[in-house]
């Protein structure tokens, strides 16, 4: 059994990663109308981060902290999925690959 402090540290780390992915979403949204390649690059990087978050979130034993991380990540994945339709097919394929559960 992990300690509460370990759960808190991991949840805080993943929360920071989710904040970064959220910022990347805003960048990708601004790039989507200007340059599809830039948009795809930002989305690919953010989805890789979300994939890592998805693999690590299951280590959190505190159910409240896990739910908070899980649902924020899920909301971001849906937001990126809708943005991918603007970026193009290649971006959409990457979204599916990074959204798989471990």
pLDDT at 101: 40
Task: Please state the domain extents for the chain.
Answer: 4-98
Q: What are the pLDDT digits (tens) for 8-17?
A: 899 999 999 9
Question: Each residue of 40-84: pLDDT tens digit?
Answer: 788 888 888 888 998 999 899 989 999 999 999 999 988 888 887
CB of 17 within 8 A of CB of 73?
A: no
The CA dihedral of 60, 65, 69, 74, to the nearest 10 degrees, is 100
Q: Above 60 in pLDDT, residue 3?
A: yes
Sorting pLDDT into bands at 50, 70 and 90, what band is 91? low
> Which whole number is the average pLDDT over 22-40?
81
Handedness of CA 78, 93, 59, 49 (dihedral sign): negative
């Amino acid at each position: 059994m992990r300690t509460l402090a370990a759960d808190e540290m991991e949840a805080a780390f993943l929360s920071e990663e989710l904040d970064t992915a959220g910022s990347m979403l805003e960048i990708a949204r601004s790039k989507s109308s200007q340059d599809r390649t830039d948009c795809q690059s930002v989305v690919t990087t953010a989805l890789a981060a979300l994939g890592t978050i998805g693999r690590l979130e299951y280590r959190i034993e505190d159910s409240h902290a896990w739910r908070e991380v899980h649902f924020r990540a899920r909301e971001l994945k849906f937001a990126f999925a809708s943005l991918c339709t603007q970026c193009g097919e290649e971006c959409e394929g990457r979204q599916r690959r990074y959204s798989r559960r471990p």
